[in-house]
Chain A
Amino acid sequence: EAQVTQNPRYLITVTGKKLTVTCSQNMNHEYMSWYRQDPGLGLRQIYYSMNVEVTDKGDVPEGYKVSRKEKRNFPLILESPSPNQTSLYFCASSIHPTATEAFFGQGTRLTVV
């Protein structure tokens, strides 16, 4: 089954404790991206990647890191989480961002206390 898998689905952590949210897709997609969704603000792109070892900043990259060492994986790293990073996070992938739909993961609800 074609899918984008995020883990964990839910996470509560404390300020400053490094964490990683994993994202994996099995569709051989070139393009992957991370979004955060906050009430009233919609989806905001954090980082995106056009291919292995190619990443670019989205609209809200501050406080986040990503890596794309393999085509299928695109982890999101919060080196020192803060309460303002409490949000719902989505990973998405597509063959190409302009030509095809994006497939979204199930979402990760992160709470930083």
Chain B
Amino acid sequence: QKEVEQNSGPLSVPEGAIASLNCTYSDRVSQSFFWYRQYSGKSPELIMSIYSNGDKEDGRFTAQLNKASQYVSLLIRDSQPSDSATYLCAVVERGFKTIFGAGTRLFVKA
């Protein structure tokens, strides 16, 4: 079993819709969770970080964390074509090792 799992996609949504990206992790003591966006050929850049159960909102983005279910998600409201990218879930495990999921490709159709 992979330590951090994401649906590889591609996930295709129409412009203006809500895109929902999901991630599960296996290390129960993980405390820090991050969502990065990566455009093709570019470096990853941080979208959201979340550390406690519940929702965290930042503009059009909402991160949700459920430690009991070992599940973290990212919602993108009012999706725009510029949101088309690969979204990477990252989990920092005990000992400070960082594990990334394989990423979900998102396409937003104009």
Contact = CB atoms under 8 A, between A and B. Distances in A.
B99 A104 contact: no
Nearest to B31: A98
A40 B32 CA distance: 24
Interface in A1-50: 31, 33, 35, 40-45, 48, 50
Interface residues of A, number: 25
A86 to B, nearest CB: 16
A79 interface: no
A31 B98 CA distance: 11
Given A40-B8, A56-B95, A104-B43, A35 B100 contact: yes
Interface stretch (B44-52, B62-70, B71-79): B44-52
A41 B92 contact: no
Interface of B: 8, 31-32, 34, 42-46, 49, 88, 90, 92, 95-103
